[in-house]
């Protein structure tokens, strides 16, 4: 089969499209024929991309962990899923990933693919939807009637965060660029700040929760929008703890987590098939151009996810 291998630690220049051994499932595993895989911008700086759980180096790791595809083969002891099932998933970060024609997944990682989405759009969902849900509700404890500021409402995580918060009954404030103002309003944002024209700290005050998907200078600016006792969660860097303490607010860095991903993804599938959630694609690339896709993802790319179209 064809796959993307990392031939060194660093940037996209180490991604090589080449032959790889066809995987076969062990107990509790399935082989999925990958139709599409999501590109994860910071993946190449994660230690888990290159190392096993024991800390030893992995040989020519395959990146990528979002997938949408079809079950090709089931291993011993798998009774909950059958060959031919259309599935999507976020696979574990410490194993070879989904930038390949076939990949190994654990049966308990897989959820039914949303029927209303093709594989390319389905592959855009897992990591971003799960991160948005877990940040808002598991970590942020967002409640109906609260005010939430989402930095980067048109990005992969932001798109789902705006929709989830709106469905919860929170007042949703978000930032985006001029070209995406109407788009994020259509997702359910009550207030949209065009960051190219307005400083968020000049317009937004007394929010209960900030979800920062952007990082950089925006993180410090967002701290000033919180009411005393409020919380800033960031997936894009470390906040200034001293500044937060001076303002009487709480901060936390929230990396992507696995948790009960199949159950959450099954819920997300249902909401998508009920036309209650939307996703967006920034660009697609063939598997052979994974390095170009990774380069674009690291530059920032506007609206939605970058996807590798594999099959």
Q: How far apart are the first and last CA of the chain?
A: 12
Q: Is 232 found in the same domain as 173?
A: yes
Per-residue pLDDT of the chain (311 residues; tens, 9 = 90+): 999 999 999 899 999 999 999 999 999 999 999 999 999 988 988 888 888 777 788 889 999 999 999 999 999 999 999 999 999 999 988 889 999 999 999 999 999 999 999 999 999 999 999 999 999 999 999 999 999 999 999 999 999 999 999 999 999 999 999 999 999 999 999 999 999 999 999 999 999 999 999 988 888 889 999 999 999 999 887 888 888 898 999 998 877 665 668 899 999 999 999 999 999 999 999 999 999 999 999 887 578 999 999 98
Q: Is 6 found in the same domain as 82?
A: yes
* 143: CATH: 3.40.50.720
Phi, psi of 80 (to 5 degrees): -100, -5
Q: Is 145 found in the same domain as 118?
A: no
Q: How far apart are CA 265 and CA 231, in angstroms?
A: 26
Picking from 302, 274, 273, 283, the residue whose alpha carbon sits closest to that of residue 39 is: 283
**In the chain, how many domains are there?**
2
Helix pair 126-133, 156-168: axis angle to 10 deg: 40
Range of the domain at 67: 2-125+279-309
Asked, for residue 267, whether it belongs to a domain, the answer is no
Evaluate if pTM is beyond 0.95: no
Q: Is 119 found in the same domain as 203?
A: no
Contact status, residue 308 vs residue 37, Cβ threshold 8 Å: yes
| 285-289 LR contacts (CB < 8 Å, sep 24+) | 285/309, 286/310, 287/2, 287/3, 287/4, 287/17, 287/37, 287/99, 287/100, 287/101, 288/2, 288/17, 289/17
């Amino acid at each position: 089969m064809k796959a993307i291998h990392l031939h060194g630690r660093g940037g996209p220049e180490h991604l090589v499209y080449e032959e790889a051994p066809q995987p076969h499932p062990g107990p509790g595993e399935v082989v999925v024929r990958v139709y599409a895989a999501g590109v994860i911008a910071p993946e190449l700086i994660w230690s888990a991309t290159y190392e096993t759980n024991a800390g030893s180096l992995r040989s020519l790791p395959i990146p990528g962990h979002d997938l949408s595809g079809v079950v090709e083969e089931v291993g011993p002891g798998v009774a909950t899923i059958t060959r031919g099932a259309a599935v999507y998933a976020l696979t574990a970060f410490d194993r070879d990933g989904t930038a390949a024609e076939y990949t190994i997944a654990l049966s308990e990682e897989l959820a039914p693919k949303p029927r209303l989405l093709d594989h390319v759009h389905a592959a855009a969902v897992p990591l971003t939807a799960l991160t948005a849900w877990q940040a808002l509700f598991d970590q942020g404890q967002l409640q109906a009637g609260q005010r939430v500021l989402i930095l980067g409402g048109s990005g992969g995580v932001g798109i789902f965060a705006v929709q989830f918060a709106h469905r919860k009954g929170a007042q949703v404030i978000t930032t985006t660029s001029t070209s995406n103002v109407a788009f994020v309003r259509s997702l359910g944002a009550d207030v949209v700040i065009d960051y190219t024209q307005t400083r968020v700290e000049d317009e937004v005050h007394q929010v209960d929760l900030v979800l920062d998907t952007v990082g950089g200078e925006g993180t410090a600016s967002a701290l000033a929008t919180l009411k005393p006792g409020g919380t800033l969660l960031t997936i894009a860097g470390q906040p200034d703890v001293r500044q937060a303490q001076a303002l009487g607010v709480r901060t936390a860095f929230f990396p992507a987590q696995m948790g009960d991903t199949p159950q959450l993804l099954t819920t997300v599938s249902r909401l998508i098939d009920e036309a209650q959630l939307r996703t967006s694609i920034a660009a697609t690339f063939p598997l052979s151009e994974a390095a170009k896709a990774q380069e674009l993802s690291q530059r920032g790319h506007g609206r939605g996810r970058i996807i590798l179209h594999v099959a």
